Amino acid sequence: MDGKSLLRQYIVDPTEVPWKAGQTEGITFQCQVYLSGADGGPEAIRFRFDPCPRVYAHMHLTSQFQLLIGGAMDFPKSTMKLRPLAIHYADHKLPYGPFSTGEGHDMLVLHPRQGGLVSMADRAARRQINLVGRQLVGMDRESEWFEVLGMAGMRCKFLIPPGSGPQAVILDAPPNCTIAVPAANFGRYEVVVNGGASFDGKSVAVPGLRYVVGDEQPTPIRSGEKGATLILLSFDADAVQGGIGDDELSRAAAEAIERAI
């Protein structure tokens, strides 16, 4: 044993995942469970919230990326009026919200493991808030493109730049291009947001994805005939914190998400 963690990967084509209706505290939505996390692996759910003026303040037990691909999500802070493509990142057990969702809302909620759902109305849960937790946001429209050196026609922009811990990078690749990606020690979602791409020979539609984690380098991504715009969302060490355990809060959080979806 050399202590290396083997590569694990999950590939999801949204055309293969059924939609279903859900609700939490009267907030209604449609969702696709891309990855349930039931095997101890990642949890990825696509949500389309009906327009809602107040999605209650809550937290999850693991790190989380929310990738907004349609509609609007407005947090009270003036710097957090999210429009697609936008990313919202929160560390494990970091409360956020309330927020409102607008017409055409469409987002991916991405966890490295099952994250559960904890309403901040739960007073006991408030005692477990992560006081040093980070909340980061980034929007496509506020970032500049950079050429990718050595990759003709490829460009990228940082929504959450390197150095912040977790990262969010948009890659715009020309048609039929091979994109090498590094190992993802703490886990990385690679989401196709435009065009088409294939992972390990499997083509996925927009917004399909691959999740990779491990010390080994995953296979390169291949852009489709019309090129591909991808967003790469990398977790950092916070991804191994928290999670669903045997405690009361974990049980309640797991039940809450189960009830909702």
Are 126 and 70 in contact by the 8 Å Cβ rule? The answer is no
248 binds other proteins (CB under 8 A): no
Q: Are strands 73-74 and 52-55 parallel, antiparallel or unpaired?
A: unpaired
Taking the least distance from each CB to other proteins, the nearer of 124 and 205 is 124
165 binds other proteins (CB under 8 A): no
Taking the least distance from each CB to other proteins, the nearer of 82 and 204 is 82
- Rounded to the nearest whole angstrom, what is the least distance from the CB of residue 119 to other proteins in the complex? 12
Per CB under 8 A, contacts with other proteins among 59-78 are 74, 76-78
Are 75 and 99 in contact by the 8 Å Cβ rule? The answer is yes
Taking the least distance from each CB to other proteins, the nearer of 128 and 241 is 128
Which residue(s) pair with 128 in the sheet?
none
- Rounded to the nearest whole angstrom, what is the least distance from the CB of residue 216 to other proteins in the complex? 38
The radius of gyration of the chain's CA atoms, rounded to the nearest angstrom, is 18
Spatial CB neighbours of 103, under 8 Å, sequence gap ≥ 6 = 51, 71, 72
- Rounded to the nearest whole angstrom, what is the least distance from the CB of residue 129 to other proteins in the complex? 5
237 binds other proteins (CB under 8 A): no
Per CB under 8 A, contacts with other proteins among 104-133 are 120, 123-124, 126-129, 131
236 binds other proteins (CB under 8 A): no
| Number of other residues whose CB lies within 10 A of the CB of residue 224 | 18
26 binds other proteins (CB under 8 A): no
Are 165 and 132 in contact by the 8 Å Cβ rule? The answer is no
| Number of other residues whose CB lies within 10 A of the CB of residue 38 | 9
The footprint of other proteins (CB under 8 A) covers 54, 56-57, 74, 76-78, 98, 120, 123-124, 126-129, 131
